[in-house]
Structure 1
């Protein structure tokens, strides 16, 4: 029986193409191969983090340097980068203002467990840009989400959180619950989990207002932790009335709304929330806020801040379980300040929007010309092609059209022609340094690949 994502494709040709592309990669990357073998002696799976083996390549591609919209590997090949660190480098690799600020700060100290002047200025910049008056910091969005969950439970006295099926909030344990045939199931791939997450995590489908209300009616949900659009199971956009009604329900039943914009900051300088009228109680932003330097932020309303202060006042002295020693270090503060002041500008976003629209249009034309039943979804500077004629409306539908084998064929074909996209599903980002020629090059090779598959 044919896989539903492979309609219109000749799968025998696809497998031949995959073999050809793997052989090509192996022949043209001898230095990466040598480094892979060397790293394999002391790094688990031969990579710093085990998921780095999830790319389409037969062995790891090692990077020499990265700047702007490009990077070079250790064999001297140059690539146009549409992955951009899966949003970590959404504003390009080593943006000049951030690089200069970090370089200057390195001569003045890295970390002290004390605030710098930049911290005060960053707080002002964040409040002005995102409309929330109070802020705290973390090293990653994972940590920020973990801290926010802890705060939400502390100030509401409720133990449960609610997430949407197929969501992405980093590696926070609490969110690894899926809906399988309508029932919550702890994700089997989660290693070392010692207790049942479904006892404290509620999961419903995205765009399911009835399911959301039914869950909230129980009165035990501390917060709804959500991306405004799903982004890591393949993009899933909200229905036109979803967030307006969802926000009203969340407030009606006494839960807090936490919006994680680590990926959807692609929507605009102030994120999806500002662009589409969302009013979160708490707001999380990770990877891109420091221009690629590890850091994250979370903001909250004055009302929430008051409840936080009261919860901290009422608790016994000691560690709150919130924050790490390196959080808000001076390097991170310098990077965030420079990125907010000079890189995440309206002009930069407009450039990115124009290119993303060109990319989406080019992909749509290629899909139409080849006749494959695929579609294209876009959120600002973030674009994705999906293996279905219409975009999915929830995580279950999005999961059903994932096809890692097909993705790997396409991704490796592009990589061998100097174009990198994300290693999972089919996400592409443009940055302020991306050019029209870069976009057209991606579309050209995408079209050629699909033509080889049909």
Structure 2
């Protein structure tokens, strides 16, 4: 087994540790100097108000010394309170995949605000949204949620109700929001509660089994007991690095789940970058359940989850009518009128073949340019891409599973690239520097990014500078 330190050294491709640390320090200093108002706010809010000075604790996880504070966003552009203009390749980690404040969604908000926002009853858009979801994703029965975390949680309940089974299967390195059943790690071949999980009382490893992605033997073994209600997975893993399925893996998985009476739940919250119907529709994966959140309402909090007629029938058969809504599925704001209006606008006017054509073409150009620069600088890295989403992987060969993805990661190198590119006007995700191309991303934006990326690569020190 490769030692983690050896793996990091290989990933850096001869980049010296001490010199890299000095470069990161210099880039952080440049960041601080260009954001005096955000720096003052960070100092002022270190105690009191929002915990840690941020409204959601993940906002502290960016690699820069303190978060930017955004004043406004439009299309693929951000402006912070210090007046810095940024080309956004993070796009709210997919929430703004079709651009910030897209016109069709803003128009839908203005139309709906005069009619009311939430009633706990269907609005006039409900029937049309249901039709659009069935046409787009191929499943006949749909429900709404506020987040993909909730949608996954509800879909897992539906899978258990439909099968009468308790256990689910997830892949090592997965992330499906805050759905408790999925927050596990694979340690020495055993499924254990995720080490970073806070305040968890019930041990999720009692009802969840975790295996490596792309591992057919482990999948067959896990399904052999015919007691797994559901396999929940991203079609391409995107949360511990980008891990593509090996040729034939999904066909094998789909056949194996059907043979064992196990349902297949696709979480396409990230892989919706593949095309208008997501990765599953493009590749004919035929899921039993389906979830997508984040971009489905153009940035307004919303998620949808769909299911086959069989799953829906079994779900409603299991629901005692006398218990009203106390099923553990759904929240008061799920399916509110504002959500439905924005989902309709997104499906009809944003998630269009024309917009995806722009996004995919831009991502291909970006991918080609990054790959050429990596080769020019002789770095043992490569890019991985799913539709309009891509990232740089610090290894020469594609990674097959989470263990290989983790071995290729290098936190200092990743942080250096992230902060240096932000200082040059480009924002990537704070998690392994994923990039997303929106319909608003121009060829000029891509060319400017590639120039900045080339500049940053030229700054990376070789090992002999230690």
Distance apart, 1:25 and its partner CA: 1.1
Q: 1:123 aligns with which of 104, 108, 130?
A: 130
Distance apart, 1:150 and its partner CA: 0.9
1:132-171 to 2 correspondence within 5 Å?
A: 132-171=139-178
Distance apart, 1:442 and its partner CA: 1.5
Q: Which residue of 2 aligns with 1:33?
A: 39
- Greater CA drift, 156-165 or 179-188: 179-188
Q: Which residue of 2 aligns with 1:21?
A: 27
Q: 1:365 aligns with which of 362, 372, 385?
A: 372
Aligned-partner Cα distance in 2 for 1:351–1:400 = 34
Gaps of at least 5 residues in structure 2 are 462-466
Q: Which residue of 2 aligns with 1:431?
A: 438
The count of residues paired between Structure 1 and Structure 2 equals: 454
TM-score by length of 2: 0.95
Aligned-partner Cα distance in 2 for 1:304–1:434 = 40
SS in 2 for 1:312: coil
Distance apart, 1:453 and its partner CA: 0.9
Distance apart, 1:13 and its partner CA: 2.2
Asked if the contact 1:160/1:220 (under 8 Å) is kept, the reply is yes
Distance apart, 1:167 and its partner CA: 1.0
Q: Which residue of 2 aligns with 1:7?
A: 13
Deviations 1:375-412 (A, max 9, x none): 10110000111000011111111122122221111100
Asked if the contact 2:158/2:311 (under 8 Å) is kept, the reply is no
Asked if the contact 2:75/2:100 (under 8 Å) is kept, the reply is yes
SS in 2 for 1:426: coil
Q: 2:277 aligns with which of 270, 295, 303?
A: 270
1:336-375 to 2 correspondence within 5 Å?
A: 336-375=343-382
- Greater CA drift, 25-34 or 69-78: 25-34
Asked if the contact 1:105/1:334 (under 8 Å) is kept, the reply is yes
> Which stretches of structure 1, 4 residues or more, deviate above 6 A after TM superposition?
none
Aligned-partner Cα distance in 2 for 1:101–1:39 = 35
Q: Which residue of 1 aligns with 2:71?
A: 64
Q: 1:308 aligns with which of 304, 307, 315?
A: 315
Structure 2 CA distance for partners of 1:241 and 1:314, relative to 1, 3 Å: farther
CA-based RMSD of the aligned residues comes to: 1.3
Q: Which residue of 1 aligns with 2:464?
A: none
Asked if the contact 1:9/1:372 (under 8 Å) is kept, the reply is no
Residue 393 in 1 paired to residue 394 in 2? no
1:40-119 to 2 correspondence within 5 Å?
A: 40=46, 41-119=48-126
Q: Which residue of 2 aligns with 1:284?
A: 291
Aligned-partner Cα distance in 2 for 1:202–1:417 = 44
Distance apart, 1:309 and its partner CA: 1.9
Gaps of at least 5 residues in structure 1 are none
Distance apart, 1:42 and its partner CA: 1.2
Aligned-partner Cα distance in 2 for 1:69–1:317 = 44
TM-score by length of 1: 0.98
Distance apart, 1:311 and its partner CA: 1.3
- Greater CA drift, 45-54 or 306-315: 306-315
Deviations 1:243-283 (A, max 9, x none): 11110100100111000100000000000011111000011
Asked if the contact 2:104/2:349 (under 8 Å) is kept, the reply is yes
Asked if the contact 2:392/2:434 (under 8 Å) is kept, the reply is yes
Asked if the contact 1:226/1:260 (under 8 Å) is kept, the reply is yes
1:135-284 to 2 correspondence within 5 Å?
A: 135-284=142-291
- Greater CA drift, 130-139 or 106-115: 106-115
